Structure 1
């Protein structure tokens, strides 16, 4: 596809237009600027009320685009940052199916960790782990690093953080998938950890530099964790949790799911329903 069109779609998304509208325009093969900012467009039925308002602000858009191009670190040449477009063939579109891949995703760090010749394991669990769960996480993450696996998790408190830190401590590689953009690391106290991962591993997100994080962003993050990994290891979880959502996504993606005995038959049986296999802790 034309680099100019991909670039224009990126800026339009940061200005506030949705994936839904921009994908529709791209698949039609029409010029994005002409289609959106032409007052006589026949596509207004595809616009949300917000998008109709934005479509009347061409001069504002041009200024926004110029400012973002000048000041946004993500767009700097020769940086470690990379932009992935849904309709290109690249490392990420090979891993994420069409229904999961957003219009754009962004990485900071070593993008070779997404290559299909790499082994990746997601280690996930509660934000408030027991002491036993912490010890199990450290043991499992260390063993997988020694077996040349890349540790994947979501940079959340608890099991995610321990997984990332254990990979780094043992000279392994780790991928953190964020529910935020690179400027607004969540939780805030993991900002330094995120910096280390961007230097030594990879940060990945679907949230652009001018986009906000919503509750759905955390669920999307879980989808990406499950889909880029070869297998998912569940350390400790509740019945209704982000971890259980990741398990569900892993099941839908046909990934192997291993889990530690939760000492709760209801939780164990739920994971079994998703095709999980219990392992000896």
Structure 2
């Protein structure tokens, strides 16, 4: 195995090379620099279709990569922060213990108290609409407080609405909370939750699959829901629409065989859809 392979793959990914290519290089245990920048892939027929047009453009100038790597190492706040942690897909760590290999990206990242990911900790995801009703807000606060009292770590997605209420209530009652982000740590979304993200860092944890030099796409929000469901033992839904990000989280929780609890949506179609995913309605 090439020395410092993980570190090199991290920088190559931040430079823009795709996950599929980098995973293939790691699994074959070959030197990524020689393969990528010295046309070494021509020696391995299986690499030919792993290079996208973007990869080929990036591979044309090794000097640009060296400059990028040096600047990132010296200047990026994430790499200099003692609270930062990088999780590699093929290592045994807190993240890979929770995340199935088929959905784990090559790298994931955290800032804060990484012990909150330990297998012996209880985690509940409390999620819902970005535009909650007053009733849903009250129920979310009540349920979050109850789970905090029962020593659960509250997981949510830092979105507006139910997610924000879940995080804030956990903090208000001295609980621990994890925010799963669809962005990197420099570009908190929504911007109005930047202060909340900082509060979470004080005692909790931020995690993401988006590296310090990577961009967020529409698909990043759906992928975030997948990670959120998989690191949680229970997913609790207080209010949702039939077609929504929350329903996507419910689907992911079902596929991961997680316990799904939900508040009566007072809509037969929505309730039945959640039942289809194995949901259990909470009583008063």
Query: Do the structures match in fold with TM over 0.5?
Result: yes
Residue matched to 1:198: 201
Q: CA shift at 1:2, angstroms? A: 6.2
Q: CA shift at 1:150, angstroms? A: 0.2
Q: CA shift at 1:91, angstroms? A: 0.4
How many residues align? The count is 280
CA–CA separation in structure 2 for the residues paired with 1:258 and 1:154: 17
Which runs of structure 2 are paired with 1:247-262 in the superposition (5 Å)?
Answer: 247-262=250-265
Q: CA shift at 1:3, angstroms? A: 6.4
CA–CA separation in structure 1 for the residues paired with 2:173 and 2:119: 23
Residue matched to 2:220: 217
Q: CA shift at 1:45, angstroms? A: 2.9
Runs (4+) of structure 1 exceeding 3 A deviation are: none
Query: Are the counterparts in 2 of residues 44 and 52 from structure 1 also a CA contact under 8 Å?
Result: no
Q: Deviations over 1:149-193 (max 9, x none)?
A: 000000000000000000000000000000000000000000000
Residue matched to 1:36: 36
Aligned match of 1:57 in 56, 61, 64? Answer: 61
Q: Deviations over 1:113-141 (max 9, x none)?
A: 00011000000000000000000000000
Q: CA shift at 1:275, angstroms? A: 0.2
1:66 equivalenced with 2:64 (yes/no): no
Q: Deviations over 1:10-47 (max 9, x none)?
A: 00000000111100111111111111111253233320
Aligned match of 1:159 in 149, 159, 162? Answer: 162
Q: CA shift at 1:211, angstroms? A: 0.4
CA–CA separation in structure 2 for the residues paired with 1:208 and 1:6: 14
The CA RMSD measured in Å over matched residues stands at: 1.0
Residue matched to 1:47: 51
Aligned match of 1:76 in 61, 77, 80? Answer: 80
- Structure 1 unaligned segments of length 5 or more: list them: none
Query: Are the counterparts in 1 of residues 23 and 106 from structure 2 also a CA contact under 8 Å?
Result: yes
Residue matched to 1:141: 144
